[in-house]
A and B are shown apart, each in its own frame.
Chain A
Amino acid sequence: MIMVDVSVIIENIDLLWGGLLMTFKLFIVALAGGLPLGIFLGLGRLSSRKWIYYPVSAYVHFIRNVPLLMLIFWIYFSLPILTGGLVEPFYAAVVSFIIFEATYFGEIIRAGYQSVSKGTIQAAYSTGLNYWQMARYILIPIALRRVVPSMITQSIVLFQDTSLAYVIGLHEFVRMASLIDNRVIRPLELYGFVAIVFLVICSIGSQIVKRLETKEGERK
């Protein structure tokens, strides 16, 4: 007989809510850091200057071949060496997510840059803009608009990835559920609840992507 007892969720809703807030906080800070860094990485990956192109490409390829979980551990162990003191799990997680997700955002934005026609860029230069002005007013705005659906998809992945901060003891949503589970031993209800919350939030996100993509298709 399978007995589902939702009272464990109701009794601990404050703790779970606190965990979910932490997950959102981590998500927003990581997005706010990863996106701008990604914009620059994307530019670097298209640079004609070798001393920019090669280090940026090496960085992107290296990070993309390492499991996020290992990167979190690695940052968690290396930050105290750099700063000489204890580092809170939250900061270690934020740094890891920014470094990691920026490479994924960067590759998406790079595809966006490549979709901007050469004529547009040449026209921008011919009006007397320099590289940074061209990037700031022409390239980046057009490219970002084109990659919105892929960026939302990657943001959904980032939102799910925040659960990995669990491994360094950050009290985010999954860690909260597991702490409660250690006390009351109700894994079915607790992990089921966590799964449903993620499913609902991420499904809403992917529906938005679908709608944007059909709109984009109609415009073409």
Chain B
Amino acid sequence: MAYQFDWSIIWSEPYFRWLIIGLIKTIEIGLLSWIIALPLGIGIGTLRSLPNKACRAIGAIYVEFFRNIPLLVQLFFWYYAIPPLLGTRISRLPNLEWYCAIFGLGIYTASRVAEHVRSGFNSVPIGQRFAALSTGLSQFQMFRYVIIPYGFRIMIPPLTTEFLTIFKNSALAMTIGILELSGISWRINEYTFHGFEATTAAIGGYLIIGLTIIFLMGQLEKRLRVPGLMRRE
């Protein structure tokens, strides 16, 4: 039996509307998780670059823990295993899966952001640190005036990649029942048996998100470039 392609599925109601709603949900999950991931990741990455051993250990354990467990398992853990322990007020919360997805994706991505932050700080030559301290700056002032302004600009390209990744990883939210872009494409398949067309459309949606971010971040990079440093080929 040959497969009958029917691309009109994508444009017909209600499926087109579903896809748009899914796309918006994907963007929402990505942005909201990023709001958790970025500050938390910067905090943990900074902990890992401090001279204090206890701080470094805490940062290292966080990163090792979240990077070595698949995101899917983490989401299942937050959604299925934790709420029943917190009593019925939490476990009966409407839209619980929504909060779990954003929280889970956020703290997972924080561990990846932390690694980029750490290597960004490490890429500031050690001589700069010595020079800063020898001029009489305190440890805090050294971070504030020397390491952070340099390091953050070096971090922008890897953090851009991470920002792209958070939208790709948000696809996993469908496994705990959120109808974002990938969840919608699966749902359309269940209604129409045209999974190929539906997933192709969803992939197009992810590409649109990706290309938009690459364009915007390219503009930002151009503006913040340290003269003479880091030029992307």
- Chain A residues in contact with chain B, CB under 8 A? 2, 62, 65-71, 73-74, 76-78, 80-81, 84, 156, 160-161, 163-164, 166-167, 174, 178, 181, 187-188, 191-192, 194-195, 198-199, 202-203, 206
Contact = CB atoms under 8 A, between A and B. Distances in A.
B175 interface: yes
B186 interface: yes
B70 A65 contact: no
Contact of B175 (A2, A166, A191): A166
Given A2-B85, A188-B81, A192-B77, A69 B68 contact: no
Interface string B156-192: 0000000010011111101100000010011001000
Given A69-B171, A163-B73, A203-B68, 19 more contacts: A65-B168, A65-B207, A68-B171, A70-B182, A70-B199, A73-B199, A161-B70, A163-B72, A166-B175, A174-B72, A187-B77, A188-B82, A188-B84, A191-B77, A191-B80, A195-B69, A198-B69, A202-B67, A203-B64
Interface string B118-157: 0000000000000000000000000000000000000000
Contacts of B77: 187, 191-192, 195
A70 B171 contact: yes
A77 B207 contact: no
Contacts of A178: 76
A163 B175 CA distance: 11
A37 B68 CA distance: 26
B2 interface: yes
A191 B196 contact: no
> What are the 4 tightest A-B residue pairs by CB atom distance, in nearest-first order?
A202-B68, A187-B80, A77-B195, A67-B171
A70 B206 contact: yes
Interface string B1-23: 11100000000000000000000
Nearest to A3: B85
A66 B70 contact: no
A191 B81 contact: yes
A203 B87 CA distance: 33
A74 B201 CA distance: 10
Given A65-B207, A67-B168, A77-B195, A163 B70 contact: yes
A174 B73 contact: yes
Contacts of B85: 2, 188
B76 A70 contact: no
Nearest to B83: A187
A77 B70 CA distance: 24
A126 B141 CA distance: 56
B65 interface: yes
28 contacts: A62-B207, A65-B164, A65-B206, A65-B210, A67-B169, A67-B182, A69-B172, A70-B182, A70-B202, A77-B195, A77-B199, A81-B3, A84-B1, A160-B71, A167-B174, A174-B73, A181-B80, A187-B77, A187-B81, A191-B76, A191-B80, A191-B81, A192-B81, A194-B73, A198-B73, A202-B68, A203-B68, A206-B68
